[in-house]
Amino acid sequence: MDNTARLPDLLQRIDAYWRAANYLSVGQMYLFDNPLLRRPLTPADIKPMLLGHWGTTPGQNFIYAHLNRVIKAGDLNMIYLSGPGHGGPAVVAHTYLEGTYSEIYPNISRDEAGLRRLFVQFSFPGGIPSHASPECPGSIHEGGELGYSLAHAFGAVFDNPDLIAACVVGDGEAETGPLATAWHSNKFLNPATDGAVLPILHLNGYKIANPTLLARIGRDELEQLLHGYGWAPIVVEGRDPMPMHEAMAAALDQTIERIQQIQNRARDPRLGGQVFERPRWPMIVLISPKGWTGPETVDDRPVEGSFRSHQVPIGQPATNPAHLAQLESWLRSYRPEELFDDQGALRPELAELAPTGDRRMGANPHANGGLLLRDLRMPDFREYAAAVVRRGAPGIGDTHALGPFLRDIVRLNEAQRNFRIFGPDETLSNGLETVFEATSRQWLAATAPGDDLLAAQGRVMEMLSEHQCQGWLEGYLLTGRHGLFNCYEAFIHIVDSMFNQHAKWLKVSAGLAWRQRIASLNYLIASHVWRQDHNGFSHQDPGFIDHVVNKKAEVVRVYLPPDGHCLLSVMDHCLRSRHYANVVIAGKHPAPQWLTMDEAVLHCSRGIGVWDWAGNEGDDPPDVVMACCGDVPTLETLAAVAILREHLPELTIRVVNVVDLMKLQPASEHPHGLTDTDFDDLFTDDRPVIFAFHGYPWLVHRLTYCRHNRRIYVHGYQEEGTITTPFDMTVLNELDRFHLAIDVINRLPRPHTRAARLKRLLGDKLIMHRQYIDRHGRDMPEVRDWQWADDPGTA
């Protein structure tokens, strides 16, 4: 690194740059007018509502200024992730100082008028949030929720060998489970093919109202903790600015030098790209006062170095003259007249400290991943069709049918290195074993005899933490790549809140013309509720769908393919899509194949449709509509249809299958939704609809509440489960063929001939089922071996 970093003149200018960033940060929180203090502050200069967070901001400003120096000195490719909760003032200030902000938002010009607009927009109606939001250039990390910054940083550098992700970890954030686990991501980082993560743990001592744990343990214990995680920490501690500048410059020089040593050794062509031992990556621990450089006391209570600096340190400057005077003194302590010229622009000798062009962290294209996104090379999914000898023939299991398709996507994109599969130790369990014909799991920790499918380079990323898998994938997508997250259905709930934040990012960024759209976040939810009979009640929960559909319609998509061919068609579509969160729910156990590949493509393109081959309606409206959504609900519906057609041939039945759940919503509420006319064409406007649904019944009612047909009766998961047989799971929740057929009979306006007798027979079947499984421990042969007949009415 450039040894001039330690020259007093450069450090003095870095200190001035830091003061400028601090001044802009305070101005964003407080000032409505008079941005350069051309005159004494008045109450009219103060915002009517004071919002924002000061405590973390000066430390982040300090870090950003010093990162600029090493970027310039080494021509580094670096992005910045702000982990502490509401560090928005810092990242906005720095992207403004480096010029990126004004390039994207020309109205926020680099003069006094632009400064005023910069200040006014912060936490102001119609303006920008107080955290590192999508509106802020350079941000890939939604800062409204804590815990995910380090996982995002690692996701960003996978397959980005030249990228360094500088990740500021707040000491409050470090108390969250996802962040505490993310330290272990260094066991998955390959220095030969991946970039580097530079964590900077910012210990300023306090959260909103309490001390932080890591700030209240001894330094030896802290260093031992970080060392035990596999890091080599360098501590920078103090309060006096100039010694801190010197220490931070030296620490960053040492850190960058060590990163480059690790990478150069791993990339030495004489080693053939082999990594012989996991490196101990460097990191920095910055220990500085919370609210550094702010007011030491307010109303005789400690503020700097206290939790009281967390948000707005001086609370009532517009109505309290003493507070107004203290605020003005605080702002003037940064000596803005030394920092900005007469027009309000940053002085040239300070502006030149920032990197230029794409090397600015606010302008780095990796922080606007759509700019770098390349289409996946995709095989033709139709080539993976199974031979369908007859309709409803048993298949190998839908996810098992998907595996070869994903395997070949891995192979086709090996040169581009832009596709990975993430999962919490479940890729094999979820039926994707064929993927491992093309790749291993990436793993840099120790191996032992008997370990399988572990390698320094791999396209599968597995760690038994749903948080890390989602965080890695989000970072990977946000920096311009593609991926898939496979997970058990019951435990995908662990990332509910992470999904919220990513969906919000997608929604907001879609409205920003300068942010290019990224690849969709694709969930493959397998090992689902209806086939968790061996694990029992703890593994039975289909409620993630309910959570997903709460988000904006332009962001979320939910697919429940009924068979393997439909799963292939749906997954091809999802992997090609942009800027969605796609949820695909599929089974892994042997299951019927209902449609030929051509039929599946047509059906999935429509998203919903009548299966004429399953029903028996004529030209008149049917007596009943039997609808299904999901693989097991489809099986049970068709089995119920077969029973009804055999015993009540005079009953006319229409079968509707739903692949795209959002088709149930009105077109006015979701882009995929059906118009009322199209909905009525499928479901009629007055005939009973017996709807077998994969998830909780109320969701279908919610999606269809304003339709003309008020006679929709939904069978789904009723929170009943245990360790039992597959069919008994459906019986416990009244989703089975017998309950469905009984419900049809109950909804008819007048009983058909033989209907009462059939209802009694079906009730007896339920009794016989219970007696059989209690005795034999498996389902009755007539259930276990049932198959669709070409003409159920003659069965």
CATH number of 508's domain: 3.40.50.970
> Among 622, 624, 604, 636, which Cα is nearest to 715's?
636
Mean pLDDT over 162-183 rounds to 96
- Please report, for residues 27, 408, 711, 761, the alpha-carbon distance to residue 652 in angstroms, rounded to integers and kept in the order given: 72, 45, 17, 20
Task: Please say if the pLDDT value at position 1 is more than 70.
Answer: no
What count of other Cβ atoms lies within 10 Å of the Cβ of residue 747? 15
Q: Which residue, 366, 396, 421, sits at the end of a domain? A: 366
| Phi, psi of 115, rounded to the nearest 5 degrees | -60, -45
Q: Give the pLDDT of residue 269.
A: 84
Domain assignment present for residue 122? The answer is yes
Residue 738, C-beta contacts closer than 8 angstroms, at least 6 positions apart: 640, 643, 731, 762, 763, 765, 766, 769
**Confidence band of 332 (pLDDT split at 50, 70, 90):** very high
Residue 777 within any structural domain of the chain: yes
Of the candidate ranges 91-100, 344-353, 508-517, 745-754, the one whose mean pLDDT is the lowest: 745-754
Which tokens hold the place of 555?
């962001």
Domain contains 682: yes
Which residue, 585, 619, 634, sits at the end of a domain? 585
Contact 51, 360 (CB under 8 A): no
CA atoms within 13 A on the CB side of 168: 33
Same domain, 250 and 382: no
Mean pLDDT over 76-89 rounds to 91
Question: Does one domain contain both 677 and 783?
Answer: yes
Report helix angle 564-576 to 398-412, nearest 10. Answer: 30
Confidence of residue 87 (pLDDT cuts 50, 70, 90): confident
Helices (H), 75-211: 88-97, 100-104, 112-121, 149-157, 177-182
Burial class (CB in 10 A: 0-12, 13-18, 19+), 314: buried
Segments forming the whole domain that contains residue 638: 607-794
Amino acid letter at 369? G
- Residues 223 and 359 reside in one and the same domain: yes
Residues 508 and 632 in one domain: no
CA angle in degrees (0–180, nearest 5) for 153-58-3 = 75
Q: Is the Cβ–Cβ distance between 182 and 151 less than 8 Å?
A: yes
* Shared domain check, 387 and 355: no
* Residue 594 in domain: no
* 479 falls within a domain: yes
| Residue 315 and residue 199 share a domain | yes
As a whole number of angstroms, the distance between CA 217 and CA 183 comes to 18
Domain match, 191 and 277 both:
yes
Q: Does 572 map to a domain?
A: yes
Highest mean pLDDT among 102-106, 525-529, 617-621 belongs to 102-106
If asked whether residues 316 and 438 sit together in one domain, one would say no
- The angle, 0 to 180 degrees and rounded to 10, between the axes of the packed helices 57-74 and 88-97 is 40
Report pLDDT digits (tens) over 629-665.
Answer: 999 999 999 999 999 999 999 999 999 999 999 999 9
Question: What pLDDT score was predicted for residue 389?
Answer: 82
Question: What is the rounded distance in angstroms from the CA atom of residue 146 to the CA atom of residue 315?
Answer: 25
Average pLDDT of every residue of the chain: 94
Low-confidence winner among 45-49, 322-326, 526-530, 683-687 (lowest mean pLDDT): 526-530
* pLDDT above 90 (res 6): no
Number of domains in the chain: 3
Residue 464 lies in a domain: yes
Mean pLDDT calculated for residue range 245-261: 97
pLDDT at 603 over 60: yes
* Higher-pLDDT residue of 536, 793: 536
- Separation CA 432–CA 411 (nearest Å): 15
Q: Is 70 exceeded by the pLDDT of residue 275?
A: no
Res. 5 pLDDT band, cuts 50 70 90? very low
Residues 641 and 718 in one domain: yes
In the structure, what pLDDT confidence band is assigned to residue 792 with cuts at 50, 70 and 90?
A: low
**Number of other residues whose CB lies within 10 A of the CB of residue 600:** 27
- Cα–Cα distances (Å) from 758 to 90, 645, 739, 763, 770, in that order, read 72, 11, 12, 9, 19
**Which ranges of 267-371 does DSSP label H, i.e. alpha helix?**
321-332, 336-339, 348-351
For the segment 684-735, what is each residue's pLDDT rounded down to a tens digit? 999 999 999 999 999 999 999 999 999 999 999 999 988 999 999 999 999 9
What pLDDT is stored for residue 535 in this prediction?
78
Residues 24 and 110 in one domain: yes
pLDDT at 276: 63
Say whether both 484 and 578 belong to one domain: yes
DSSP letter (8 states) at residue 78: E
472 Cβ neighbours under 8 A, 6+ residues apart: 151, 154, 155, 158, 185, 422, 461
Same domain, 223 and 202: yes
Q: How many Å separate Cα 758 from the centre of its chain?
A: 49
Whether residue 692 lies inside any domain: the answer is yes
For CA atoms 453, 455, 461, 467, the dihedral sign is: positive
* pLDDT interval class at 2 (50, 70, 90): very low
pLDDT of residue 274: 62
Q: Phi and psi at residue 147, in whole multiples of 5°?
A: 120, -10
Residue-wise pLDDT tens digits, 17-75: 999 999 999 999 999 999 999 999 999 999 999 988 999 999 999 999 999 999 999 99
Q: Extract the tokens encoding 655.
A: 């079968």
Last residue within a domain, chosen from 322, 342, 366: 366
Q: Is the pLDDT of residue 752 over 80?
A: no
Structure letter (DSSP) for residue 735: -
pLDDT at residue 77 tops 80: yes
Find the mean pLDDT for residues 672-676.
96
**Cβ neighbours of residue 331 under 8 Å, at least 6 residues apart?**
23, 26, 27, 30, 37, 41
